[in-house]
Structure formats: C-alpha cells, structure tokens
Amino acid sequence: MRTFILYLNKARTDEKFNIDDLPSSGGRMDVLCRAVTSSLWLSHSLREETKLIGVLNGPPNPPVSVYFNSNTMKFVSPDERSISFWIKKALAQIGKTTRSGIYAERKSFQEIIKELKDMPIYILHESGKNIFEVKILDNPVFILGDHIGIPKKDENFAMRYAKEKISLGKKSYLASSCISIINWILDVNLK
Amino acid sequence: MRTFILYLNKARTDEKFNIDDLPSSGGRMDVLCRAVTSSLWLSHSLREETKLIGVLNGPPNPPVSVYFNSNTMKFVSPDERSISFWIKKALAQIGKTTRSGIYAERKSFQEIIKELKDMPIYILHESGKNIFEVKILDNPVFILGDHIGIPKKDENFAMRYAKEKISLGKKSYLASSCISIINWILDVNLK
C-alpha cells in the first residue's frame, strides 16, 4: 500500500461549502480534489493499493480527516466537482462511510501519524534530501502540505516518526504534481 | 519554451457547455483544465516559458484550438472551474484574446504541428521509446492524447515531423499526470 497524507490548513470541516466555489467557500478544497485525482487515478482505471488522507483544518470544527482508498472507491469521477460532491457527503455524516467508499473521521494529523508510525514515513519538503539519495521502503507514507505548508508543531511531531525529509528538487510544486511524480518514481522504480 | 499539445476527441468547440458539468456537457473539458494546471502552475506561481495548446474536436464545429501561455496568462486560478470559465469565454469569441490571455483559434491538430515543425516534437505513447533513452532537445513540444487517444491519421501525420515517440513506462497515465512528470523530468534534468 502507498499512502499520501495531505495537510490542508483552511479546508472546511463541514458540508457547508459550495461545490461550485471550492477555492473560496471550501477553503481550497480544490487542492484536495486534485490530489485525489493524481494519487488514485491512472488513465483508464483506479490504481491499486493507494490511499490518500486529506487532513482538513479549516472552520468550523477542525480537525477532520477524509479517507480515499483506491481499492474500495466507486461512483467517483476524476473531476473536481465529482470528488467534492462526495467529500461534502462524507463531511455531512462524519464517522459513516458514503456509498463512494469515501469517509471522514474526527482525527488530527498527529493521531494519523501515530496510527501509521510503523510504516516508513517520508515528509516532502523543499529543504529535504534529494529523493534520488533516499531508498523508499515498501508501504511508504508520504506527507505533503498545501500551499501554506504544514505548521511547525505538526511537522516536528511527524519528524519524530519519519524516516526522512525528502525533496523533489529546488522548485516548489503543487501537491497534485508532487503526488503524480512520486507515483511515477515508484512505478518505474527510479533510482 | 516548453510546449504541450493535448488532443481532445470530444471537447466542445463552442461556449455552450456548463462549467458545473465539464465531463458531460463539456465533452471531458475537465481533462483540459487539469492539463492546464499541471503544465503551467508551480506551487506559488506560474511557470515561465511554458505553453499548452488544447485541440478540441467535439461538437458543434471542430476543430478549435485553445492557447494557454504561462508568460501572459493572468486572472486565472488553478481550479477546474476558473480555468473552464476562461475557456468558455475564449470559445465565445474565437480569434480574440480574452482578458486572461487565453484565446481560441479555428486551427486543427495538423495545422498546429505544421507551425511547430521546426521544434523537436515528441509524441507520448505507451508503445514509445523509454524517455530515459531519449535526449530531449531544447524547446521541446510534447504531444499527448486524452483517454481516447489521438486518431491514427493525426498520429501518423505528427510522426512525420516528430523526433521520437516516447513513453513514461508501462502504465497509462492521465494527461495531467504525464505533464507533471515531464515538467519535473526537465526541471531536474533527469537522465
């Protein structure tokens, strides 16, 4: 299993956002939607054994984490509107799984890290070690921030459990682009 | 300059689509929107010197090509709805540049290839040569298809001018993922 965790500073934690205005009313919920597409989809099908957890830290009642699993997801299309429709449903019934397989839980970034602490955790960061110099172990967990970044306190917490801080180079990429690149690096077994 | 050309088989060629239903009413216009995001955006800014041309071949009056240039684009956000809003505007006034810098022209895939024939052209295809075995020259042009693929006739035409058919590996990726990966390969000068 490959796991991506995306920390979202402002993403709304209830269903009261407009799927026709994800950037503003959703607190950049579009960032999460694009991360779902790039983590779980191939051209004609979903990937296998890939998970994304979006950790939402916006109003009204943070944190809430939303779970997407390529093995169980259904009825979802790879466009932002379809994905956000199901996120909204999941946020309207926190703790219950939607028909799509997507579900939300009242869990914080730190709680998620603790649950995954036995897996090899890598934090994506421009200042990290070049990914070519790092051996990525099986069942990796990759932690990414949104455009604002992971708060220092949470990053320090994750660092206690992480194998390594890794970098894709000097440029700072969109979370969705980072995920596409990492998926590909692992697919082609790039050294 | 880096140029991406995305061939879209069904994308609508006038402004009469609903930006709240890009997959169906837009003929998978969402595929183009995500390609725009992954080709032109870094995390906090637009890239420099990067262009995307979307070649739309859907109803009512194909072909129409839509141009996105990172050097001149403005007022556009990286979410599908914002991008599609400007595509709609461009399609409502074909031949004129919108305030965003995005514009549309009545040009076919083959006409675009002919205009770019002096640049090194690479066609992305699962059956192509592994990208690691190909030297990508300066000012490259990358041709990508949507989920349906480029029609044989057009692909054969492009092959006359292309340096090489290249592949990112055995898996078939979303166009937006291919673009993220290629941008990164060129950014880090991966051999």
ipTM of the complex: 0.97
DSSP class of A163: S
Token pair of B54 as six digits: 């979307």
Q: What percent of chain B has a predicted confidence (pLDDT) above 90?
A: 98
Q: What percent of chain A has a predicted confidence (pLDDT) above 90?
A: 98
For position A190, what pLDDT does the model report?
Answer: 84
Average pLDDT over residues B124-129: 94
Suggest the residue from A24, A83, A171, A191 to mutate for an interface test with chain B (most B CBs closer than 10 A): A171
pLDDT confidence bin for B101, thresholds 50/70/90: very high
Q: Name the amino acid, one letter, at A62.
A: P
Average pLDDT over residues B95-106: 98
The CA-atom distances, in angstroms, between A14 and each of A62, A63, A92, B165 are 9, 10, 6, 47
Rg, Å, chain B Cα set: 15
Compute the CA torsion angle A130, A132, A135, A140 (nearest 10 deg): 70
Which has the closest alpha carbon to B28: B5, B59, B50, B52? B59
Question: Which residues in B34-62 are b (16+ Cβ under 10 Å) and which e?
Answer: bbbbbbbbbbeebbeebbbbbbbbbeeeb
pLDDT confidence bin for A191, thresholds 50/70/90: low
Which has the closest alpha carbon to A82: A117, A118, A34? A34
* Chain A residues inside the 8 Å CB shell of B79: 22-23, 30, 34, 80
Mind telling me how many Å the CA of A22 is from chain B's nearest CA? 8
Q: For B178, name the nearest residue in chain A, comparing CA atoms only.
A: A180
CB contact under 8 A, A174 and B20: no
Q: Note the pLDDT tens digit of each residue in A93-104.
A: 999 999 999 999
Would you say B105 and B65 are in contact if contact means Cβ atoms under 8 Å apart?
A: yes
Average pLDDT over residues A152-165: 97
